[in-house]
Structure 1
Amino acid sequence: MRGRTSPQLGNSEISKWAAVSQVVKENKIGILCVQETHLTAEHESQIDSIYSRRIKIINSRDPHRPGSSAGIAFILNREIANTVDLETIKIIPGRAMVLKTKWHNQENLLILNIYTPNNHAQHPEFWGKISQTWYEKNLPSPDFMMGDFNITEDILDRAPARPDNDNATEALRDLRHQLNVQDTWRLNNPTSRLFTYNSNTNSLSRLDRIYTAPSHERNTHNWESCTSVIPLDHRMVSVRHAPVNAPYIGKGRWTWPTSLLHDKKLIKTISTLGKLTQQKILYPQYPRHETENPQYFWESFKNQISQEARKAAKEHLNKIRSHIERLESDLEKTRNGPQQAKL
């Protein structure tokens, strides 16, 4: 998050949270884990009074500097996620918190939200404290462990490629083995490169990751790393989780893309069809029957313009999709090219 305020979004003390609410809604995110929230109790109250109809926020603040350091939060989309049967455990205030919720009827989902210190020397103690607390509270293995880890486990996750601090890396791996979670994206993409943070020195790294339980590997898809409309210094990482017993959800009702409102060719076609329909309604050529009446003409007109709109939308989307694919291909070549190792 890099704090709660943003000059680009106004001078409000909680200016970023309008964008957070928008991202959750538009991307249909069920649960969003954020780090570096810098929320005090007063800020939480303000956010809740404005956005509580759409999102539920569970925040853990730094006990010493709540408004200027650390802070992590779970943000639940009330339209998608269960916001009633919740249980939270603050393992390290402002740094590590567990959320337990019901997902798809009776299935429990355990998520560990992490914000690791920048100083690698503090990592062994940090991971060790989580390990000890997990053991003392006899917690089950999490389904997901995600957040800003401020360290990488694979040399491919940095450009220029290099290993991170051995003690810090080993401490993280020890905890992962204890909790039985894996870097599923990396396992499925052993030679690919994906970066979520660009430092001031133009070095790239994959600091933000989502670990999953091995049993969820087949039920996770649409792994993405994208730039968010929220002013951040990291890219947002996301994944879709579809349990085996999840209900099937179709594509939904088709709607006209708003971009078609500016398609002059389509508007001209609709205008021509509308005039023909109007003539048929005002000046019928045959006696009224099943296929010769205003209701039938009107329905036919709506079906025709829908077909024309679908054709136009397909043409528009194909052009956009082709352009995006070319850009993604260029980005992939740049990201995984040999020149990255020489930066």
Structure 2
Amino acid sequence: MRKRKLGVLAVQETHLKNGDLDALNERMKSKIFIINSGNPNRPNANGVAIILNRQTTAWAETQKWVLVPGRALMVQFPWKNGGEHRTILNVYAPNDARENETFWKELASKWDGRNPPPKPDIMLGDMNIVEDSIDRIPIHGDDPNAVEALRSLKCKLGLIDGWREEHPETIAYSYPQETTRSQSRIDRVYTTKKIAKTTREWIIEPSDVKTDHNLVSFHYYEPGQQLKGKGRPTLPLWIAKDEYFLKLGRKAVRQATQDARTYTQAGLTEDRPIQYPVQQIYNKLKIDLYCVAKGRVADAIPKMKQRIEARTKDLKRVKRQQPWKRKSARCTYDTIAPAKIRHI
């Protein structure tokens, strides 16, 4: 969560006992807050959790609803300072087709009758079915009754598939199975149309944690949020270890040190009327170092971009031609991530 700057993370198949949950919250009390719902009959099975970043969310003011123990957990927390709230529903649907259909119908019934819970702004998790055959490889549809039950729930809650809205013609998968050589996009995020209007950067990519599912993420921003510029000029951290820059930088520092000593020993004369020579030499050194570093970055970054783009194409090719070789895709992704960090 810290690396990707995530405010909220939804996890399925947590298999957490109450004692383990308390221990984790105590251990990570300065960073995250975990809200979990386990299966009371089988603590080592199922389980869903919503993890809140303590630094960026009002985690202490959350409300939760366990709609289906171990399968559906909903959390609501204050949003910004405008008195509004955001409600997130995390689901882990059964794999069996009939149980899957029953699950969606049971979940939909929670909003019937008196005093229903608030409708979620976002519903996300492992659906264990796909709505469209294009989201599976080999291409085939899922149980029509289960799909209809899910669509009925979506209609009732006013939700749409955010990733598909952002990428209407893109093919991507979140769950590659090495044993059967198949892939599917069973991990999805549904949002209301209002929320979808202020989202961007919808991504499906391998998780930093070892798991058989990919991570689905997006950026949600506040409506009317001001556009921020680039800010003051900065340099990437890798320049501090670049040999070429260090070589030129040492040369500039030696020259500046020599000039400062010369002025200090000679003092103020008619030939040297500067009142603060050392400070001006130091200021010139900073400007020179920045110009050298900026020039080096301008030369190096296009080459880094080319390497990143080349490896990204390799990753797409591996996924498209040999989707069952997850290790090959993971290996390719592992070479892209460090390059992106270095580029930044």
CA contact (8 A) 1:57 1:76 kept: yes
Match of 2:54 in 1: 78
Q: Aligned pair 1:242/2:221, yes or no?
A: yes
CA contact (8 A) 1:193 1:336 kept: no
**Local SS of the residue matching 1:153:** coil
Report the Cα distance in structure 2 between the residues aligned to 1:33 and 1:91, rounded to whole angstroms. 15
**Local SS of the residue matching 1:57:** strand
**Local SS of the residue matching 1:224:** strand
Residue 72 of structure 1: how far off its partner (Å): 1.0
CA contact (8 A) 1:104 1:246 kept: no
Equivalent of 1:186, from 137, 148, 164?
Answer: 164
Match of 2:42 in 1: 65
Match of 1:158 in 2: 136
**Local SS of the residue matching 1:182:** strand
CA contact (8 A) 1:196 1:206 kept: yes
CA contact (8 A) 2:166 2:202 kept: no
When Rg is computed on C-alpha atoms for both structures, the one with the higher figure is 2
Report the Cα distance in structure 2 between the residues aligned to 1:198 and 1:276, rounded to whole angstroms. 58
Equivalent of 2:272, from 283, 286, 290?
Answer: 286
Report the Cα distance in structure 2 between the residues aligned to 1:301 and 1:326, rounded to whole angstroms. 38
Equivalent of 2:313, from 312, 321, 329?
Answer: 329
Q: Aligned pair 1:198/2:176, yes or no?
A: yes
Q: Aligned pair 1:220/2:199, yes or no?
A: yes
> Structure 2: any 5+ residue segments left out of the alignment?
264-270, 324-344
Match of 1:38 in 2: 15
Percentage of pairs with the same residue? 32
Report the Cα distance in structure 1 between the residues aligned to 2:235 and 2:189, rounded to whole angstroms. 35
1:150/1:315 Cα in 2 relative to 1: closer, same or farther (>3 Å)?
farther
Bigger shift: residues 327-336 or 209-218: 327-336
**Local SS of the residue matching 2:41:** coil
Cα deviations across residues 8-41 of structure 1 (Å, max 9, x unaligned)? xxxxxxxxxxxxxxxx111110111111111111
1:316/1:54 Cα in 2 relative to 1: closer, same or farther (>3 Å)?
farther
Pairing 1:77-116 to 2, within 5 Å after superposition: 77-105=53-81, 106-116=83-93
Output the TM-score relative to the length of structure 2.
Answer: 0.84
Match of 1:12 in 2: none
Residue 318 of structure 1: how far off its partner (Å): 2.8
**Local SS of the residue matching 1:239:** strand
Equivalent of 1:147, from 115, 125, 129?
Answer: 125
Report the Cα distance in structure 2 between the residues aligned to 1:274 and 1:191, rounded to whole angstroms. 55
Number of residue-to-residue matches in the alignment: 313
Residue 254 of structure 1: how far off its partner (Å): 6.0
Match of 1:3 in 2: none
**Local SS of the residue matching 1:34:** strand
Report the Cα distance in structure 2 between the residues aligned to 1:61 and 1:254, rounded to whole angstroms. 49
1:209/1:253 Cα in 2 relative to 1: closer, same or farther (>3 Å)?
farther
Residue 322 of structure 1: how far off its partner (Å): 2.0
RMSD: 2.2
| Larger relative contact order, structure 1 or 2 (CA cutoff 8 Å, min sep 6) | 1
> Structure 1: any 5+ residue segments left out of the alignment?
1-23
Report the Cα distance in structure 1 between the residues aligned to 2:17 and 2:230, rounded to whole angstroms. 41
Report the Cα distance in structure 1 between the residues aligned to 2:218 and 2:125, rounded to whole angstroms. 13
Amino acid at match of 2:272: Y
Where do 4+ consecutive residues of structure 1 move more than 6 Å?
Answer: none
Cα deviations across residues 240-264 of structure 1 (Å, max 9, x unaligned)? 0012144655556666544334321
Output the TM-score relative to the length of structure 1.
Answer: 0.84
